[in-house]
């Protein structure tokens, strides 16, 4: 059987975002499922105005963060390099020469204004705004005349009226008619090649067997198939992945879920959880209950269960799977995961040794899904946060105050504090103050943490100990103007 070769071909114009990370993931698990194929990373940097090395590095770092490594790429030599399009100019020039020689390319001298006027006419006539092939039949002397006027040509691919058919592994039989497409540009007037040609030539030259990419590229596929066929190459199989939308069914906005992958990892999400939750963006049988490693995902993956309907990216799903991932990792991994996010949030590490931190994090696994919330809760272990004015007012009522004062007294008297005697302490405070439920726990939480919600009180108070808890209560009493 032929060696499977797939490629992930990002344009380095920004960080690695959800949509393209999902494409990388599907390519990777497809290549590694069963056949142990090759995953090639190709940098598509022909757009010199927008492509930057900084973005390339950010994309590579994002992939590494997810554990998605490549077999060939800009930093790993292989038999099909170079792996940056900006370094493959000669290869494209050879393809262009060949296409000119066989009459499939011709120079087009139309100005942008002429093209725009054509498009408007066609739209007004309710026709598809394709190129009207004005330059397709120019003879040499006409070309010379236009060149003498200073017109610099683009190069257009001449298409016939044939039907282009292919079987997409996700979208099924697809047919485009050459008539609808119109002759398209493959090289700009400054001589640089465009995406359509560069990518088709690379897929052919790099012996790519499967092109797996977003649905937004579907209309490029017939053009690229025509180029490859004209060059006598072998056409790869195509699989277009459904568009990724937000939970609301609308286009992903930067704010809602199109977050860049490295920032998710930096925030404390487990790479396995990110990968598993991305796997369900189109793959109907992706695991829903647990986070899996790339190898496990690859073992289960079957491209025939990728669906065409738009995939909705739901941050709650990521949090749910991340919760499952955090439930099984070692305490040490928890600490390693949260050290940087906690540092960034200003957590006071001086108060705890690593062992304390390990057991605090371990005690919080149940509520660990959204790492931002975990960090927020951890900050409450580090220090008491400021109360809002409304909360201060709540604390001054008679019932709340009696609870806080009783707690302070009990802590002053306690010998050693563990979860059992903390529970007994709370029971006895309840009896003495006649406060229960919210009226009992809310003032304690507010006085000790400054917040209405947070980690389990028994975990928090036993971890910070009676001395610190008393100090925090004193601070609260001062804040609300209670003189004891």
Q: Which is nearer to ligand GLU, 228 or 342 (CB)?
A: 228
Q: Which residues contact 477 (CB under 8 A, 6 or more apart)?
A: 404, 483, 484
CB 9 → ligand GLU: shortest distance, Å?
A: 4
Q: Which is nearer to ligand GLU, 41 or 187 (CB)?
A: 41
Select from 5-13, 153-161, 299-307, 425-433 the region that touches ligand GLU (CB under 6 A): 5-13
Of the candidates 443, 458, 338, the residue with the CA atom closest to the CA atom of residue 391: 443
Q: Which is nearer to ligand GLU, 217 or 432 (CB)?
A: 217
Q: How far apart are the first and last CA of the chain?
A: 83
Select from 9-17, 72-80, 315-323, 421-429 the region that touches ligand GLU (CB under 6 A): 9-17
CB 91 → ligand GLU: shortest distance, Å?
A: 16
**Binding-residue pattern over the window 196 to 235 for ligand GLU, x denoting contact by CB under 6 A:** ---x-------------x---x------------------
Report the residue from 11, 33, 322, 469 that binds ligand GLU according to the rule CB under 6 A.
11
The residue count for binding ligand GLU (CB under 6 A) is: 7
Binding of ligand GLU at residue 10 (CB under 6 A)?
A: yes
Binding of ligand GLU at residue 9 (CB under 6 A)?
A: yes
> Three-state SS for 237?
strand
Give the integer Cα–Cα distance in Å for 53 and 11. 11
CB 318 → ligand GLU: shortest distance, Å?
A: 23
Q: Which is nearer to ligand GLU, 13 or 383 (CB)?
A: 13
Q: Which is nearer to ligand GLU, 211 or 403 (CB)?
A: 211
Give the integer Cα–Cα distance in Å for 194 and 215. 20
CB 223 → ligand GLU: shortest distance, Å?
A: 11
To the nearest 10°, report the CA torsion of 443, 447, 450, 454: -60
Pairing of strands 172-177, 184-187: unpaired
Q: Which is nearer to ligand GLU, 96 or 241 (CB)?
A: 241
Select from 3-11, 50-58, 90-98, 122-130 the region that touches ligand GLU (CB under 6 A): 3-11
Q: Which is nearer to ligand GLU, 31 or 411 (CB)?
A: 31
Q: Which helix (H) or strand (E) holds 404?
A: helix 398-413
Q: Which is nearer to ligand GLU, 42 or 408 (CB)?
A: 42
CB 56 → ligand GLU: shortest distance, Å?
A: 12
Q: Which two tokens stand for residue 98?
A: 């060949």
Q: Which is nearer to ligand GLU, 27 or 322 (CB)?
A: 27
Give the integer Cα–Cα distance in Å for 129 and 119. 5
Select from 6-14, 91-99, 334-342, 436-444 the region that touches ligand GLU (CB under 6 A): 6-14
The CB-based long-range contact list for 94-100 (8 Å cut-off, 24+ gap) reads 95/197, 95/201, 95/227, 95/231, 96/155, 96/186, 96/187, 96/193, 96/197, 98/231, 99/157, 99/186, 99/227, 99/230, 99/231, 100/155
Binding of ligand GLU at residue 55 (CB under 6 A)?
A: no
Q: Partners of 84 in the beta sheet? A: 43
CB 218 → ligand GLU: shortest distance, Å?
A: 11
Select from 4-12, 56-64, 98-106, 441-449 the region that touches ligand GLU (CB under 6 A): 4-12
138-153 burial string, b = 16+ CB within 10 Å, else e? beeeebeebeeeeeeb
Select from 8-16, 142-150, 452-460, 471-479 the region that touches ligand GLU (CB under 6 A): 8-16
CB 213 → ligand GLU: shortest distance, Å?
A: 4
Do residues 307 and 284 lie in contact, with contact meaning Cβ atoms separated by under 8 Å? yes
> Three-state SS for 254?
coil
Cβ count near 214 (within 10 Å): 17
Binding of ligand GLU at residue 19 (CB under 6 A)?
A: no
**Binding-residue pattern over the window 23 to 52 for ligand GLU, x denoting contact by CB under 6 A:** ---------------------x--------
CA distances from residue 151 to 108, 111, 118, 365, 376 in whole angstroms, order as listed: 9, 8, 18, 67, 62
Q: Which is nearer to ligand GLU, 225 or 326 (CB)?
A: 225
Cβ count near 327 (within 10 Å): 13
**Binding-residue pattern over the window 163 to 202 for ligand GLU, x denoting contact by CB under 6 A:** ------------------------------------x---
CB 307 → ligand GLU: shortest distance, Å?
A: 20
Do residues 337 and 322 lie in contact, with contact meaning Cβ atoms separated by under 8 Å? no
248 burial (CB, 10 Å; 0-12 / 13-18 / 19+) is exposed
CB 207 → ligand GLU: shortest distance, Å?
A: 16
Binding of ligand GLU at residue 455 (CB under 6 A)?
A: no
60-72 burial string, b = 16+ CB within 10 Å, else e? bebbebbebebeb
476 burial (CB, 10 Å; 0-12 / 13-18 / 19+) is buried
CB 331 → ligand GLU: shortest distance, Å?
A: 40
Pairing of strands 184-187, 154-157: antiparallel
Q: Summarize as ranges the residues that interact with ligand GLU (CB under 6 A).
A: 9-11, 44, 199, 213, 217
């Amino acid at each position: 059987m032929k060696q499977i070769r797939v490629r992930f071909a990002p344009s380095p114009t920004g960080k690695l975002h959800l949509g393209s990370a999902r494409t990388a993931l599907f390519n990777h698990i497809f290549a590694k499922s069963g056949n142990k194929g090759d995953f090639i990373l190709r940098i598509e940097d022909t757009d010199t105005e927008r492509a930057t090395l900084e973005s390339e590095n950010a994309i590579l770092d994002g992939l590494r963060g997810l554990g998605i490594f490549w077999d060939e790429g800009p930093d790993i030599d292989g038999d099909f390099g170079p792996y940056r399009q900006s370094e493959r100019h000669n290869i494209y020039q050879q393809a262009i020469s060949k296409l000119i020689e066989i009459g499939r390319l011709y120079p087009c001298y139309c100005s942008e204004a002429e093209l725009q006027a054509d498009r408007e006419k066609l739209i007004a006539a309710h026709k598809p705004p394709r190129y009207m092939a004005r330059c397709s039949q120019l003879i040499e002397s006409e070309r010379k005349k236009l060149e003498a006027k200073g017109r610099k040509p683009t190069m257009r691919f001449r298409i016939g009226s044939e039907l282009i058919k292919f079987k997409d592994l996700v979208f099924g039989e697809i047919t485009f008619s050459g008539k609808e497409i119109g002759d398209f540009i493959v090289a700009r007037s400054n001589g640089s090649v465009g995406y359509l040609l560069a990518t088709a030539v690379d897929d052919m030259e790099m012996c790519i067997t499967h092109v797996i990419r977003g649905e937004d590229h579907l209309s490029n596929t017939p053009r690229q198939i025509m180029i490859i066929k004209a060059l006598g190459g072998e056409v790869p199989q195509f699989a277009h992945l459904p568009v990724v939308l937000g939970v609301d069914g609308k286009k992903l906005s930067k704010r809602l879920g199109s977050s860049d992958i490295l920032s998710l990892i930096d925030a404390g999400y487990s790479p396995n959880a990110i990968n598993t939750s991305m796997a369900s963006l189109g793959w109907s049988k992706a695991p829903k209950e647990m986070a899996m490693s790339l190898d496990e995902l690859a073992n289960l993956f079957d491209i025939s269960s990728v669906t065409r309907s738009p995939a909705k990216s739901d941050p709650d799903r990521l949090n749910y799977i991340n919760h499952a991932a955090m439930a099984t990792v070692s305490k040490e991994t928890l600490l390693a995961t949260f050290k940087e996010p906690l540092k960034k949030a200003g957590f006071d590490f001086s108060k705890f040794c690593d062992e304390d931190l390990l057991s605090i994090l371990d005690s919080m696994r149940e509520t660990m899904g959204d790492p931002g919330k975990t960090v927020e809760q951890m900050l409450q272990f580090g220090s008491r946060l400021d109360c809002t004015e409304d909360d201060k007012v709540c604390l001054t009522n008679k019932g709340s105050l009696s609870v806080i004062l009783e707690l302070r007294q009990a802590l002053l008297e306690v010998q050693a504090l563990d979860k059992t005697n903390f529970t007994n302490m709370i029971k006895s405070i309840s009896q003495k103050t006649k406060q229960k439920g919210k009226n009992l726990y809310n003032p304690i939480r507010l006085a000790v943490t400054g917040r209405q919600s947070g980690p389990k009180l028994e975990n928090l108070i036993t971890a910070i100990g009676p001395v610190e808890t008393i100090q925090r209560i004193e601070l609260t009493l001062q804040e609300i103007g209670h003189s004891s």
